[in-house]
Amino acid sequence: MLLTQRSTLTQFLIEERRRFPGAGGDFNALILDIALACKAIARTVAFGELGGVTGDHASEQGGSVNVQGETQKKLDVLSNDVFIRRTEWSGHLAGMASEEMDLPYQIPGQYPRGKYLLVFDPLDGSSNIDVNVSVGSIFSVLRAPQAVIETGRDVTQADFLQPGSSQVAAGYALYGPTTMLVLTVGDGVNGFTLDPNLGEFMLTHPKIQIPPDTHEFAINASNSRFWESPVKRYVDECLAGKTGPRAKDFNMRWIASMVAEAHRILMRGGVFMYPRDNKDPAKPGRLRLLYEANPMGFIVEQAGGRASTGENPMMAVRPTALHQRIGLVFGSKNEVERIERYHQEPVTTELRNPLFAERSLFRD
């Protein structure tokens, strides 16, 4: 399609803002700064080994480890810096929080402070960097508490502990065969593809909708011995295929970049699970609530899908810590609701016995 027939991200944001005549330009400017950060990361990722950006980050003390206890890759640290540098100066932010920083980031004294909080996972799927598989960035925009806006005081962890339902916007960038930005400002989900010639994100996927049904699921099956029984039941039934209680064959995918899995699900449906399990009692789930589960949950729900802890709606969870981990299930609505139902139903031997399974002759 010709350039003249597509909106740029800038045009899209300005046209959206016309619906709110009182709105200033702060929010749009913030989103455009984030988009620029994503473009910069996309270029850095594209150079790979040539750019010297693969491999682990080396600090003066040797390798570096983030607050999660994970070894930081060079690109984790670089992308974190890009997010900070591209957004701290503008006067739109009161503070930031990131997977790669133990504590909230304070806007330096030389810059004005604004009314939004930015929370991000600068590089998601970092285990895939060195093997040239898709990675991404995830971000969430929250309103700063009134007291922060009025006083311009430093932000605290507590200021960020807002439920997913309070998000003003959320999005991700996917650095795949093409670079895409997928965004919600609470009015549906729109996807933009980076035109590499113009350096502009162009609206290519307006009003994305996740099909409510699917026959594709994504889970890291190497954790199966640690799963709770409702998850085991769900996966067993998928694996049983046509001859099982679901009476249809399922397909399985695992990329190990949540952004890439989420994007596939937004494009053609599916269900993603990184459920709470009993692998490590100190970690109730693998993924992080504030910069992974909440933004992705907001996007998925705005696209007609569902996001859940497995038991309850993700958007209603009251966060208790900045780097809190949580079980995450999202995707096609009917599948996620089924998984939630399995968590609510008492586990009886009947459920585990195929003779009494849903489509069995032995059931009323």
182: CB partners within 8 A, 6+ apart: 171, 172, 173, 174, 189, 190, 191, 192, 205, 208, 263, 266, 299
Chain positions 261 to 280 lying near ligand AHG, rule: CB under 6 A, are: 274
Answer yes or no whether residue 216 interacts with Mn ion by CB under 5 A. no
Q: Please tell me whether residue 99 binds Mn ion under the rule CB under 5 A.
A: yes
Give the nearer residue to ligand AHG in terms of CB position, either 13 or 271: 271
Question: Is 257 among the residues that bind ligand AHG (CB under 6 A)?
Answer: yes
258 touches ligand AHG (CB under 6 A): yes
- Give residue number: closest CB to Mn ion: 124
Return the one option of Mn ion, ligand AHG, none that residue 216 interacts with (CB less than 5 to 8 A, by type).
none
For Mn ion, the closer of residues 135 and 194 by Cβ is 135
- Candidates 22-30, 56-64, 120-128, 188-196: pick the segment binding ligand AHG (CB under 6 A): 120-128
Q: Report the 10 Å Cβ neighbour count for 287.
A: 17
Residue of 125, 164, 295, 297 interacting with ligand AHG (CB under 6 A): 125
Contacting ligand AHG (CB under 6 A), which of 37, 74, 77, 124? 124
* C-alpha span between 317 and 348 (Å, rounded): 28
Which of 93-101, 176-184, 195-203, 307-315 is the region at the interface with Mn ion (rule: CB under 5 A)?
A: 93-101
DSSP codes joined into one string, 69-96: SPBPBHHHHHHHHHHHHHHTTSS-EEEE
**Which amino acid, one-letter code, is at 236?**
D
Q: Which residue has the tokens 């009025």?
A: 150
Alpha-carbon torsion angle 31, 37, 39, 40, nearest 10: 170
For residues 119-138, which are near Mn ion according to CB under 5 A? Answer: 121, 123-124
- Smallest gap, in angstroms, from Cβ of residue 327 to ligand AHG? 13
| DSSP designation for 133 | -
**127 forms part of the interface with ligand AHG (CB under 6 A):** yes
CB atoms within 10 A of CB 155: 22
Binding residue count for ligand AHG, defined by CB under 6 A: 13
Contact partner, 257, from Mn ion, ligand AHG, none, Cβ < 5-8 Å per class: ligand AHG
Least distance between Mn ion and beta carbon 163 (Å): 20
Stretch that binds Mn ion, among 92-100, 106-114, 314-322, 355-363 (CB under 5 A): 92-100
Name residues whose C-beta falls within 8 Å of residue 86's C-beta, 6 or more positions apart in sequence: 33, 34, 36, 37, 40
Residue 285 CB, nearest distance to ligand AHG (Å)? 11
The CA radius of gyration of the chain, in Å to the nearest whole number, is 21
Name the residue nearer to ligand AHG (CB basis): 44 or 126: 126
3-class DSSP assignment, residue 124 = strand
Q: Which of residues 312-341 bind ligand AHG (CB under 6 A)?
A: none
- Which DSSP symbol is given to 155? P
Written as six digits, the tokens of 37 are 């950060």
Q: How many CB atoms lie within 10 A of CB 71?
A: 14
Could you tell me the two tokens for 23? 């709105």
220 binds, options ligand AHG, Mn ion, none, Cβ within 5 to 8 A by partner type:
ligand AHG
Residue 256 binds which entry of Mn ion, ligand AHG, none, CB below 5-8 Å type-dependent: ligand AHG
Q: Is 100 in the site for ligand AHG (CB under 6 A)?
A: no
256 touches ligand AHG (CB under 6 A): yes
* Complete DSSP assignment for 29-49: HHHHHHHHHHHHHHHHHHHGG
Three-state DSSP at 213 gives coil
- How many whole angstroms separate alpha carbon 4 and alpha carbon 1? 8
Rounded to the nearest whole angstrom, what is the least distance from the CB of residue 260 to ligand AHG in the complex?
8
Query: Considering only residues 201-220, where is the footprint of ligand AHG by CB under 6 A?
Result: 220
- Strand bridging mode 200-205 / 216-219: unpaired
Q: Residues in the site for Mn ion, rule: CB under 5 A? A: 99, 121, 123-124
Q: Residues in the site for ligand AHG, rule: CB under 6 A? A: 70, 99, 121, 124-127, 220, 256-258, 274, 286
